[in-house]
Structure 1
Amino acid sequence: MTRLSLRLRILLFFALLALGGILIVALALIVGYRHSIESGSGPGFMLSAIIAGFGLLGLATGIWFLFDENVAKPIEKLAATLRVRAHAGVPAELDKHAARYLGDLAPAADAVTTQLNEQTLDAAEMVALETEALSDEKTRLTALLSEIPLAIVLISPTHRIVLYDGQAASALAQIAPPRLNASIFDYFAKPNLIAAHDELVKTDREVAFEATCPNGEVSFAARLKPLGSARGYMMFIDEAHSHLSPEASRPLTYDFELLKPSGPSNLMKLAIDRVPFVVFDSETTGLLPHKDEVIQLGAVRVLRGMIVPGEKIDRLVDPGRPIPPASTKVHHITDAMVAGAPSFQPVATEFHHFARDAVIVAHNAPFDMAFLHRRAEEYDLDWQHPILDTVLLSAVLFGTTESHTLDALCARLGVTIPARLRHTALGDAQATAEVLCRMLPMLKSQGYTTLEKVIEQCQKHSRLLEDMN
């Protein structure tokens, strides 16, 4: 069969359907004729019709099954693999055995994508050279900023954080986890900052003021500085360096694209590659959200389809009770490791701030979110964020018949989870974030260009999560 052309095999499918139908009808008529000799023509022809009807139904079902297994499923799998190659940049190997009845389609697709990959590698070499040059520029910029004994934050015209250095990160962390694209008002009270900014705009000169956090517990002497013809403004936090040595590392975290207008403020209408995501995972004392407790929470942030370096949460949690040995065997977290760790409330509050104005993503999200919702009222936290589940994204892109475990998804998309990080909250969150980043261009290529469209497609496969949980 594999030596026959695709068109000839499809012809044989329908020839088999026609021949089988003729044989079934002939057999039914013979049986009906014999029955009519014994009991009259009426019952005989009725019996013929019943036999023919069920026979044709069985034949159509059998032919459909063969077509589905040997044509439809292989084409769907081939298309998914090609999307992985084309849009996720993963050199996934084509399953030529599964596509053995598709004629020359699989080898031809393999040849085309291999050629494109070679061209992409050539382009990647040029990009790597440019990236190296940009890296040198960043190193020089970091060295230059290190000479300034102040914490530095670059803020967009819409008052969102575009850049911060290591000292600024330490200052902001005294209030809440530092985040690119976060509103500066999440960290400092609006009245003082707006008054200083209005004066900055009016005079086009540096303005000193007291920057106080929203609850008034932390304050810094700060200055705003105009950027001339450039967009946005700089904020220098004078006292942030007091608890750091002058030689302290001052890595930069930035994305100058955030200076540009981001499009609709409604997350649901935002282009999928412009949506801010927070990807998280938790480890727990057991598998029952209504009575078990979180013992570890890890999270990373994704902006413009890329993981933001340095923006993460990795916290152990004291569950207030012993961790069952069966659970420790999975995640390797012991009672001694969580002794002295904070309770879940401050960790959940920190994560809530970390996920502000973002879409929350997890693998099998209902399980992890159940632990957050269970304590929401007690902790006065409102979890109204849009939720994306990588299980459902996998079903949208690869079909429901594929495996949708995190390990299977990582293997399919070329993501490696180091063994020591598997079943740790941050390790699994990092892997899930890498998977998400590789799926975003694939979703866009299929026409699911906004968060609203992606969620709509995910809802069609929600039964998968019901079965898992």
Structure 2
Amino acid sequence: MLAGLGLRLRIFLLFAGVAAASCTVVAAALYFGYSRIPEAGAGSGFVLAGLLSVFGLLAISAAIWMLFDENVAKPVQQLSAAIRTRAHADVDAPIDLEGAKYLGDLAPAAYAVTGRLIDNTADAGELVADATAQLAAERAQLALLLTEIPVAIVLVSPAHKIMLYDGQAADVLGQVHVPRLGASIFDYFVEEEVRAAYNQLTETRTEIAVDVKGARGNLSFQVRLKKLSQSPGYMILIDETTTRIAPEARRPLIYDFDAAQHNSEKAIDQRSLQELSFVVFDTETTGLMPNKDEIVQIGAVRVVNGRIIPGETVDQLVNPGRRIPPASTKVHRITDEMVAEAPDAATAISDFHIFARDSVIVAHNAPFDMAFLHKYGHISGQVWDHPILDTVLLSAIVFGAEQEHTLDALCARLDIEIPQNLRHTALGDAQATAQALCKLLPILTSRSLDTFGKVTTQTRKYGRLLKDMN
């Protein structure tokens, strides 16, 4: 009945009802107290009337709060989350018109406005798609031209951070470790040898040829360092004759020139979300008890500049050193035979520690997965002191703590589809979490939560969610 009335009239009736109920409670309390005067005296009667009035008004306040929370606060929170999701995450999120029916025309109006925004975004997206297609064609042409150059190419910033590498360079770097945009070149080549060559290059020459060892000391490479004439930094050219790369190999270009502009000297709390690099990971295990169970798989992807970087992934089976319970195999489909030749947990986690260097670690329900990393960190002497974000808590910030925050529920809200064959695989769940992160970041930024410190301050308000999940 109330839903058919105007919003202002409903609010007037609500407060009129509050006033009437309050007057009724006070009058009833006074009457009851007055009736007790002959038995208990005037003082006791007034005290009783006062107590009854207080408890009655508290009951009315609690009832009004429950009505507002259920019919105003929660719908407004859900409506704002849906609007921001539609506006900033490129998701056609549904708006619960029935749940917001007591907000008058607000929900239909928001639906209309965001619908128009989506239409305009789609029109703009077509123009962007045309421009992107042209850039992709030019990029493909550049990649084709690069195939004629029998070297692998890496562009490095003046701070010795990797800004670009091609497909053949990815193969070369991959012989040392998984290539990573924004990573230090010293993670792949011995620092002293590269610095010595770089110092010669900057002092007297525009190009220098040197032999350098891989950072792990088991490989040697003939490389040339070359100055860039139009921008700061330098180029490393790796001759194919000293590597195991094929000249006919594909040459996709992976790059992030903004990496050179990021100020890594800032305290992590002051750094913007846009300039951070994230390693999003997940584990599959023999069970749910980190103190007793073992890892059987690690999957991870990197997110730089708000996008997932293709090829910068970890998909590693791990030998747990014990039989995998059939109940666990039923979930993640990993068998004893599959992990028989895999590295042990200490080795796999040591490699992952390098992959996650200088990055913010992200996971869905991070305390569970981090417990395994800390467990082997104590054994191998590695310190897992990386900054951490948890997508469970980011989901609570955006959608409200009272919502469900499983990975499936979060992906459903953000229109992310997890292929059934990849669900409950470490890499599949890590990729889904990374997609969720990429859609959550612009929503957080739109709410002025644009630095790591601001976001983590908000996440602390929802820490109880993780305690309940674990």
| TM-score (normalizing by structure 2) | 0.97
1:448 aligns with 2:449: yes
Q: Structure 1 stretch 32-41 or stretch 273-282: which is displaced more?
A: 32-41
Q: Identify the residue that residue 48 of structure 1 maps to in structure 2.
A: 49
Q: Identify the residue that residue 136 of structure 2 maps to in structure 1.
A: 135
Letter in 2 for 1:420: N
Cα distance in structure 1, aligned partners of 2:459 and 2:53? 42
Q: Identify the residue that residue 11 of structure 1 maps to in structure 2.
A: 12
Listed one character per residue, the Cα deviations across residues 242-287 of structure 1 (whole Å, up to 9, x for unaligned) are 4233322232211233343546443322111111100000000000
Residue 111 of structure 1 and its aligned partner are, at CA, apart by: 1.0
Secondary structure, counterpart of 2:102 in structure 1 = coil
Q: Identify the residue that residue 71 of structure 2 maps to in structure 1.
A: 70
Cα distance in structure 1, aligned partners of 2:180 and 2:449? 27
Secondary structure, counterpart of 1:321 in structure 2 = coil
Q: 1:390 to 1:240 in 2, by over 3 A?
A: farther
Q: 1:241 to 1:109 in 2, by over 3 A?
A: farther
In the TM superposition, what are the counterparts of 1:35-434 in structure 2 within 5 Å?
35-239=36-240, 242-262=243-263, 264-434=265-435
Secondary structure, counterpart of 1:178 in structure 2 = coil
Cα distance in structure 2, aligned partners of 1:240 and 1:5? 79
Residue 193 of structure 1 and its aligned partner are, at CA, apart by: 1.1
Cα distance in structure 2, aligned partners of 1:129 and 1:447? 32
Letter in 2 for 1:103: G
Letter in 1 for 2:169: A
Q: 1:245 to 1:300 in 2, by over 3 A?
A: same
Cα distance in structure 1, aligned partners of 2:231 and 2:73? 55
Cα distance in structure 1, aligned partners of 2:350 and 2:412? 34
Listed one character per residue, the Cα deviations across residues 13-35 of structure 1 (whole Å, up to 9, x for unaligned) are 21111110111112112222222
Q: Aligned-residue CA RMSD in angstroms?
A: 1.5
Q: Structure 1 stretch 367-376 or stretch 248-257: which is displaced more?
A: 248-257
Q: Structure 1 stretch 11-20 or stretch 223-232: which is displaced more?
A: 223-232
The percentage of counterpart residues that share the same residue type is: 55
In the TM superposition, what are the counterparts of 1:17-36 in structure 2 within 5 Å?
17-36=18-37
Secondary structure, counterpart of 2:210 in structure 1 = strand
Q: 1:25 to 1:261 in 2, by over 3 A?
A: closer
Cα distance in structure 2, aligned partners of 1:458 and 1:40? 56
| Equivalent residues of 2:280, 2:302 under 8 A apart | yes
Residue 383 of structure 1 and its aligned partner are, at CA, apart by: 0.6
Cα distance in structure 2, aligned partners of 1:240 and 1:464? 55
Cα distance in structure 2, aligned partners of 1:149 and 1:388? 42
| TM-score (normalizing by structure 1) | 0.97
| Equivalent residues of 1:151, 1:241 under 8 A apart | no
Letter in 2 for 1:305: G
Note the residue ranges of structure 2 that are not aligned, 5 or more in a row: none
Cα distance in structure 1, aligned partners of 2:176 and 2:350? 12
Cα distance in structure 1, aligned partners of 2:307 and 2:247? 31
Q: Structure 1 stretch 399-408 or stretch 281-290: which is displaced more?
A: 399-408
Listed one character per residue, the Cα deviations across residues 162-220 of structure 1 (whole Å, up to 9, x for unaligned) are 11122211211121211011111111112221221122223343210011123432210
Cα distance in structure 1, aligned partners of 2:166 and 2:347? 25
Secondary structure, counterpart of 2:3 in structure 1 = coil
| Equivalent residues of 2:345, 2:376 under 8 A apart | no
Letter in 2 for 1:116: L
Secondary structure, counterpart of 2:133 in structure 1 = helix
Secondary structure, counterpart of 1:460 in structure 2 = helix
Residue 241 of structure 1 and its aligned partner are, at CA, apart by: 6.5
Cα distance in structure 2, aligned partners of 1:261 and 1:402? 36
Letter in 1 for 2:36: H
Listed one character per residue, the Cα deviations across residues 41-90 of structure 1 (whole Å, up to 9, x for unaligned) are 33322222222211111111111101111011111110111111111111
Note the residue ranges of structure 1 that are not aligned, 5 or more in a row: none
Q: Structure 1 stretch 187-196 or stretch 353-362: which is displaced more?
A: 187-196
Letter in 2 for 1:377: H
Cα distance in structure 2, aligned partners of 1:148 and 1:245? 12
| Equivalent residues of 2:286, 2:325 under 8 A apart | yes
